[in-house]
Structure 1
Amino acid sequence: MNPCDFSLGKPQSAEKVCLNKEASLSKHCSKNAQKDLSLVTPNAGGYPEERRCREHAKMLDCYCQDDLACVCAMCSSVGSHKGHSIVALKEEHDKQRVILSLTMKSIQENKNAVNKVLMHLQKSEDQIKYNKKSLTVQLSKLFQEIKSQVNQKEKQILGDIQSNEEKQLADIFALKKKAEGKRDAALHGLQELQMLTKQADAFRFLKDFQLAQERIKKQNSSNESVEVLTVHLDESVIQDVRSHTEAYLSNLDNLMQVVHGKIINQTQWCRAIPAAEFSLDDVVCEVFPSPPSPQTRKLSGTNSAAAHLTFGNMEQDP
């Protein structure tokens, strides 16, 4: 326990350290301390020896803007920082607090801009998925229509061939029936004439033969037949069909290339301009018109988050 230097009676635990008086104060004593004293919490503000100049053993209550370091009053008057741009530590603290506030504001604005970009990217992602789904449905329907028309044309052509076959077979069947009737009639007449060869009665023979001749004269002796030619697709016809098919597919491919080009070019890349282009130089010049030192410009040109403060001969990240 770090005891209070001003408590009477039972020792009280110190909650504050006075940098001016170099004394430890309890909660009660720190409330009654003068307002111009620099009181810090030992654990939060660092130990007093860390705030002392190693060269002069004085409190680091000034700031060298040339070397970007916390220094004591003697360093600025007779020490290595003599002739440098020296300000009170509180003044530099207030200045850096303003820069910190503007930096946070700028980063917050850029964060909001990034959120807007993310929302836009999500919208673009959804649009790409919708475009793919929409085009897939449309093209599938279109190709299904093409297939349906080809299948329908195939059925029509093959149906016409089958209908023509049925009609021509029916005609041939009719001729066959007619020829078979004539054949049966000729056979019947031949049988009657064969019987006449056995007729011995001259009267009867002449009479029956005369009747047979009259029947033969009445019969139509002409015969009808059909000659069927060999039919097949000529090689020239096959090539013509293939050529027309290739031309159709080529035209279809040209049309699809237009669609494909639209798909490729559906993404228009652009650079989102942030809400604020942050520059530490701009912040310093805007708040503090006096130009910063070369070291400050060099430091701000890299990254403000990488800046560090030098305490005496020690370096400590903020």
Structure 2
Amino acid sequence: MAELQMLEELREELICSVCLDVYRNPVCLSCGHSFCEECIQSLLLNHHHPQSLFSCPLCGVQGAPPMELHPNIQLRSIVQKFFSTSDFPIAAIEEEPKYEEESEDEVWRKEESSDLSHEEILCDFCLREPQPAVKTCMTCESSMCQAHLGKHSTKAFLASHVLVEPCDAGVLAERRCSQHGKLLECYCVTDSVCVCILCCATSSHKSHEIISVEEAFDQAQNDFPETLQTLKTHEAAVNESLENLLAHQGKIKALESSHRNHLENSFNAICEQLDRRKAEILGAIRNIEEKQLSHTETWIKEHKEMKDAVSSDVRELEALRNQKDPVLFIKGLSAVQARKREQVPSKDDVELAELLSAMDGSIKETIQELLQPYAQLIVDTVPSEESSPVHEHLTFKSCQASGLHVEDKVLRVVKPLHPLVSLPFVLNNVPFWVYSTQYFQSGRHFWEVITSKSSRWKVGVGNNYFQCYVEYSFHLLSVFPDGKDINAPFRITDIRMIRVELDCERKTVSFLYVSGKEGSGFSSRYVPIATVTIPISYPVHATFSVSNGSLSLP
């Protein structure tokens, strides 16, 4: 048993650190460490830079690439005796190399495989099929699988080597001092940087506070939670600020879109109104032209008749010029002189000029009448960034009103007016208003009223102290702030919907309408009517009155 144990111990000393088997044709490097000849040749073949220094797989000592490997004759003799003593076949010493030289294609395939699995660190000592590394030796600068790590750890002179988790050449370079090439084993508290022993002894860190990397690691672990929490707090603040900026960006885009739509609708409405009024004025001009031409043609016909009569008299007198008989001459001249001649009327362009001047004045008044509400509306009611109007969905307040039926969303006439009653008088002297259940005393608000089923109504705002409303009757639209008509009524055939905008801060009320019948295909484009200032008397309700048909809230 003792002999077997001695043989086993001897065998452990004869193991190559590369192939993990008994030496075969052992050769030695300049550092004194021995390896199988074929193992070193394989390592040299896989060495990517043949002209650079070659490191010993055990101690990491660098030297020139060994062009000729010198046999370790003494170690070979020991191996022979070991095989002969332990009944191993002597021929095993001289057997063919365990590893054939790899062709260029095989090397290329291995490099390609390594590139594909670059995230996995492989053992530097495995020759044929590299196994995943479990540790990297910082001293040897080599990564080892579990089998080669076990062999590495059994060597007493390798016990002081620093082992870390598997890492590649880039990480290995970061763990060494760029100035001295030594391991970064110390930490400079003064400069907050990892340094090597030479940096502590000779460089600018000589007089600084130095601790070990392990001690600095323990302190960093203690500081980690606080640092992480600080960064998370900062991250949350940045995220909140970013969300605010994104929300602000959205508001800017929404505001720009609102401005754009508002102005486009306003100017489109102006163009539509101008086109409509243009057609009316051109029609009036055409009628005046036809009337004037008719009168002119009558005058031309009369003048032609007068011309024919005068021309006949002139010819008769010309013929009478050569008459020698006194009696005939006197009779002929007397006959021409006795004929009645009407005075030629004086027709010039005064009447036409006065007519055109009157038309120019009418056109100016028309343009002012059309553009003034839009100008005031564009200036006063462009949406602001501070506050956007809130769309209010109103309901009618229940009340007892003679001839009316009041529901939550519908206000209609159930008792028609007597046909002999003066309708304007009734409309302008309605003894009641129907109020909304909601009231307003701050902010900006707007609501809509469907008016297509009534031809006489009033819509506005008010309380016990004042009323401001727009009135529609007999196709005429007027605005009454506090009971006073501020503009001349203008005619509109039918109104489908009214929009009321209340700005409590500016103390203004704006009225707009949508014309056209429902389902007629016209787009719902609001046309401004007027913007008026109201007295400071809050709260106010939306107010409604109807003389025929019904009003409804959408």
TM-score range for the pair, normalised by the shorter chain length: 0.3 to 0.5
Q: Which has the higher helix share?
A: 1
The TM-score, its normalising length taken from structure 1, stands at 0.41
Q: Which has the higher strand share?
A: 2
The TM-score, its normalising length taken from structure 2, stands at 0.27
